[in-house]
């Protein structure tokens, strides 16, 4: 619901919008005195059947916030919410799919829909100019009220760094971070020298806040009854929907929000754990290089699926503390299988959907030097965390090929294994996958054979 007005909010206090919500007209249901035939079961006595706009206007009686439901005279089976606001009757096409809606928001009841609508209409009428300027002077980059907390956390992070050179954030840091808002958490971690500065977009999703909430971008009240704004599911940042378009790509995922290791976005995982690469990649490769480089058919031979799933669950449950040693999994093929499964389970492949077609086109170039240059150019388009993970994996696979006389795995064989594992076409097409397989294989083969030049 939206309304236009020339009036605007003159007050500068961030509580002004909250005050407007309190002042918004309350819904007043106009009940139909008689029983209406064919009344939809999901409507109550506010439904007046087939009546005209003029009749609806008369029933509302000029009472601010009054509302009725009616069936359209022109289109039987279509329903309209008639609502009195701003000395006029507003008519909205009404829908139901298990919940009531006239726009994006879904409501359990007509009463809630009207309540939220009146709040939105009132605020947008009284504060339209103020709302339009909310994003022009954000608090996001200079959080005055958070300075002391940010400095406190930064000092704690610094002290922890001096005590230990571990890459991952310590438990003490987590304790400090959990006590502050997602916004202050972002500011504190930005100042941490141990933090790997990978850019990451926020994963905003529409959210219903219980109780009053203020936007962490513009510091203004988030109005409405439900779906007042959006929350980043990775770091917990709460902002208006319109403010989310202006928030920088600086999401700092919070470990307590990351439920799994497998099937988690690669950049999200490394930022949450504060590592250069996913810990699964580092731990598995370390184990493979320690005891498996000479194993015949390395990466080509499959381990038992049940045991590979056990490794996956161990990483999801224990993270970097997962035990994948020879004492638990003597068959190295289980570890290689778990590593390949990790790459297959990524929601966005290591070689991203955005770069897939460019890599395929590069593989089709017949001149070897030009093809190598084209591959290098596309590599530069990968997100930093994806690039670093691919670089580290290719260094490892090069070591595998150096033991070819024992493991019988050369760059071409590894390309066959890792081509479809590291890159998938954006569209889920079996035909495209089959057509591109030889190019997928060739790309990985080129990356392995030229890793010292390409990375």
Q: pLDDT (tens digit, 9 = 90+) per residue, 420-432? A: 999 999 987 788 8
pLDDT band at 253 (very low <50, low <70, confident <90, very high): confident
Query: Residue 28 phi/psi, 5° resolution?
Result: -130, 105
Tokens of 361: 């086109």
Q: How many CB atoms lie within 10 A of CB 87?
A: 7
79-85 and 88-96 strand pairing: antiparallel
pLDDT band at 15 (very low <50, low <70, confident <90, very high): low
pLDDT per residue over 254-312, tens digit each? 888 888 999 999 999 998 888 999 999 999 999 999 999 999 999 999 999 999 999 99
Per-residue confidence (pLDDT) for residue 256, from 0 to 100: 83
| pLDDT surpassing 80 at residue 401 | yes
Helix boundaries (H) for 381-429: 384-401, 404-407, 411-422
User: Which residues have CB under 8 Å from 42's CB, separation 6+?
Assistant: 96, 100
pLDDT band at 47 (very low <50, low <70, confident <90, very high): very high
| pLDDT surpassing 60 at residue 184 | no
Instruction: Please state the pTM of the whole predicted model.
Output: 0.64
Tokens of 80: 């309209």
Tokens of 188: 């504190």
Per-residue confidence (pLDDT) for residue 141, from 0 to 100: 59
351: helix, strand or coil? strand
User: Which residues have CB under 8 Å from 409's CB, separation 6+?
Assistant: 297, 298, 299, 300, 400, 401, 403
> 128 versus 170: which is more confidently predicted?
128
Per-residue confidence (pLDDT) for residue 180, from 0 to 100: 39
- Closest by CA to 264, choosing from 287, 302, 233, is 233
Tokens 């933090």 sit on residue: 195
3-state helix, strand, coil in the chain (%, to 5): 50, 10, 40
Tokens of 5: 């007005």
Residue % of the chain over a pLDDT of 70: 84
| pLDDT surpassing 50 at residue 174 | no
pLDDT per residue over 151-168, tens digit each? 433 443 444 444 443 334
402: Cα separation from own chain's centroid: 40
Segment 310-326 mean pLDDT: 96
Dist CA 219 CA 268 (whole Å): 26
**What is the crossing angle of helices 147-163 and 171-178, to 10°?**
170
| pLDDT surpassing 80 at residue 10 | no
Per-residue confidence (pLDDT) for residue 196, from 0 to 100: 59
Dist CA 146 CA 309 (whole Å): 44
Q: How many CB atoms lie within 10 A of CB 296?
A: 10
- Closest by CA to 397, choosing from 419, 375, 376, is 419
Dist CA 117 CA 106 (whole Å): 12
**Average pLDDT in the chain:** 85
Per-residue confidence (pLDDT) for residue 191, from 0 to 100: 43
**Least confident span in 194-208, 227-241, 359-373:** 194-208
260: helix, strand or coil? coil
N-terminal to C-terminal alpha carbon distance within the chain: 53
| pLDDT surpassing 80 at residue 113 | yes
Beta carbons of 203 and 182 less than 8 angstroms apart: no
Per-residue confidence (pLDDT) for residue 210, from 0 to 100: 87
Beta carbons of 274 and 161 less than 8 angstroms apart: no
Q: Spell out a b/e string for 5-29, using b for 16 or more CB atoms within 10 Å of the CB, else e.
A: eeeebeeeeeebbbebbeebbebbe
User: Which residues have CB under 8 Å from 213's CB, separation 6+?
Assistant: 221, 222, 228, 229, 238
């Amino acid at each position: 619901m939206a309304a236009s007005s020339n009036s605007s909010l003159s007050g500068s206090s961030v509580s002004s919008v909250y005050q407007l919500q309190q002042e918004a007209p309350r819904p007043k249901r106009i009940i139909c005195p008689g029983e209406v035939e064919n009344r939809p079961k999901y409507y109550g006595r506010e439904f007046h059947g087939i009546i005209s706009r003029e009749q609806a206007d008369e029933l509302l009686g000029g009472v601010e916030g009054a509302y009725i439901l009616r069936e359209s005279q022109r289109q039987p089976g279509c329903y309209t919410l008639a609502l009195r606001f701003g000395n006029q009757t507003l008519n909205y096409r009404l829908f139901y799919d298990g919940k009531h809606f006239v726009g994006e928001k879904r409501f359990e009841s007509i009463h809630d829909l009207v309540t939220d609508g009146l709040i939105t209409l009132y605020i947008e009428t009284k504060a339209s100019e103020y709302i339009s300027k909310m994003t022009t002077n954000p608090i996001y980059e200079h959080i005055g009220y958070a300075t002391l907390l940010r400095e406190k956390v930064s000092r704690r992070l610094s002290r922890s760094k001096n005590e230990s050179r571990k890459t991952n954030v310590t438990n003490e840091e987590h304790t400090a971070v959990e006590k502050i808002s997602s916004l202050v958490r972002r500011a504190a971690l930005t100042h941490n020298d141990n933090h790997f500065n990978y850019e990451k977009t926020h994963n905003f999703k529409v959210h219903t806040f219980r109780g009053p909430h203020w936007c962490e971008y513009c510091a203004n009240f988030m109005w409405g009854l439900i779906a007042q704004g959006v929350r980043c599911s990775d770091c917990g940042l709460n902002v208006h929907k319109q403010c989310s378009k202006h928030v920088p790509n600086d999401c700092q995922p919070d470990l307590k929000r990351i439920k799994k290791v497998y099937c988690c976005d690669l950049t999200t995982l490394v930022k949450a754990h504060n590592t250069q690469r996913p810990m699964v990649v580092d731990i598995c490769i370390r184990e493979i290089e320690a005891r498996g480089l000479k194993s015949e058919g390395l990466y080509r031979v499959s381990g038992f699926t049940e045991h590979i799933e056990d490794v996956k669950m161990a990483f999801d449950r224990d993270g970097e503390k997962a035990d994948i040693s020879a004492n638990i999994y003597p068959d190295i093929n289980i570890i290689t299988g778990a590593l390949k499964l990790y790459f297959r389970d990524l929601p966005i492949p290591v070689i991203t959907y955005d770069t897939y077609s460019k890599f395929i086109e590069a593989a089709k170039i017949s001149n070897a030097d030009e093809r190598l240059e084209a591959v290098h150019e596309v590599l530069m388009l990968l997100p930093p965390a994806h690039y670093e993970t691919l670089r580290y994996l290719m260094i490892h696979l090069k070591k595998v090929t150096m033991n070819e006389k024992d493991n019988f795995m050369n760059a071409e064989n590894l390309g066959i294994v890792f081509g479809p594992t590291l890159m998938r076409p954006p569209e889920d097409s079996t035909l495209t996958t089959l057509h591109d397989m030889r190019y997928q294989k060739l790309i990985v083969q080129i990356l392995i054979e030229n890793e010292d030049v390409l990375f």
